[in-house]
Amino acid sequence: MSFVEMVEMVDILKRADYDGKYGPYSNPNERKAKIMTKVVKSLRRNFGVRRSNEQLRKRWSDLKLREQDQDRRIKKVLLKSVVEVVVPKSSHFTSDSAQQLIQEIMFCSRDLDRIKEKTKEIEQRLKNMIDVLGRI
């Protein structure tokens, strides 16, 4: 599971109060199942990955219990995104649209990195071809 996918998962689980920290719930298991279904749909829609509810539950518990460093990094990313949402410039700018914008920026950044890598590879191939032709 990539870091960006984990950020998406943690964001949804924290916003939806997956651990039930903010109130008495009549049926917490049903609520958790609905929230996890949202996570599965979001990961499939945004990243094209299919994960089972069990895989995601295990990943969530691993993040909370065993992988505190990774959890801290995710929280930092989420805190930064919240700071960006605090100062909306238009009335149509909501926290959901901000999250979508942040995701798009992250995707574009990843795509840009891939393009840079491909460009470097092509430049290296061209240099090698020029060197070979220069020797002939």
Q: Do 77 and 21 have their domain in common?
A: yes
Query: Domain total for the chain?
Result: 2
- Contact (Cβ atoms closer than 8 angstroms) between residue 28 and residue 20: yes
pLDDT at 67: 84
- Mean pLDDT score, 84-104: 64
- Mean pLDDT score, 118-134: 90
At CA 96, angle to CA 79 and CA 88, rounded to 5? 75
Q: Which domain holds residue 106?
A: 89-136
Which range, of 1-5, 57-61, 100-104, averages the lowest pLDDT? 1-5
Q: Which two tokens stand for residue 20?
A: 């039930």
Q: Do 109 and 69 have their domain in common?
A: no
Q: Do 60 and 7 have their domain in common?
A: yes
pLDDT at 92: 59
What is the signed CA dihedral for 16, 37, 61, 104, rounded to 10 degrees? -70
Q: Do 107 and 62 have their domain in common?
A: no
Return the SS3 of 110.
helix
